[in-house]
A and B are shown apart, each in its own frame.
Chain A
């Protein structure tokens, strides 16, 4: 079974600075998807960024980028120019890309990010 580990329960960053959230995963599959979701205090889970394992290029969405190291099974999220609105719980998640009906996400336990003004 796949597992996702977020080793940092809490992180803090100064506004306008850069922060990196860590995520490692364990799988025997060669093709899969990785995601970062953000859950602000309003509670709705919002997709931040996604990465397909077969793509070597790291995904980027505006101030958010990932460092995907497939051999190391590592998928970290970098937030540049941090803003107060980035404060949230961040979840790393894994999903198989194999066929069939197994579309479920496996989540890490989350990292609570605080942004200090």
Chain B
């Protein structure tokens, strides 16, 4: 089975901090994604990557950046955390163009 692992299940940070959310997949997938999930809004794509060192903006990239130095790892970075970034963050990966995405368990991030 595909395993997508997010480093933290819960995280509490302070406004202005630099925050790193890590995601690792073990199936050599080409594509990786970061979503945020908010009640009543569903999942919205922040960034995705289809290869090492490649990244593309999703629907809501403002306030975020990403890093993909190795194929298995995709990091989401909040450069200066703000309270409106309090949310559930979900990482996903997929192989090729036609395969479905597999999701991690999510990180519930609170910015105080």
Which residues of A are at the interface with B, using a C-beta cutoff of 8 A? 9, 33, 35, 37, 42-47, 50, 91, 97, 99, 101, 103-110
Contacts and interface: CB of A to CB of B under 8 A. Distances in A.
Interface stretch (B12-20, B61-69, B71-79, B93-101): B93-101
Given A35-B100, A103-B50, A109 B40 contact: yes
Contact of B42 (A35, A42, A91, A103): A91
B42 A44 contact: no
B31 A103 contact: yes
A106 B43 CA distance: 8
Contacts of B102: 47
Interface residues of B, number: 27
Given A103-B31, A103-B50, A47 B97 contact: no
Given A42-B105, A45-B103, A105 B45 contact: yes
Q: Is the interface of B mostly helix, strand, loop or mixed?
A: strand
B56 A44 contact: no
Contact of A101 (B43, B56, B98): B56
23 contacts: A9-B40, A35-B100, A37-B103, A42-B105, A43-B105, A43-B106, A44-B105, A45-B92, A45-B103, A47-B100, A50-B100, A97-B97, A101-B56, A103-B31, A103-B94, A103-B97, A105-B43, A105-B45, A107-B43, A107-B44, A108-B42, A109-B40, A109-B42
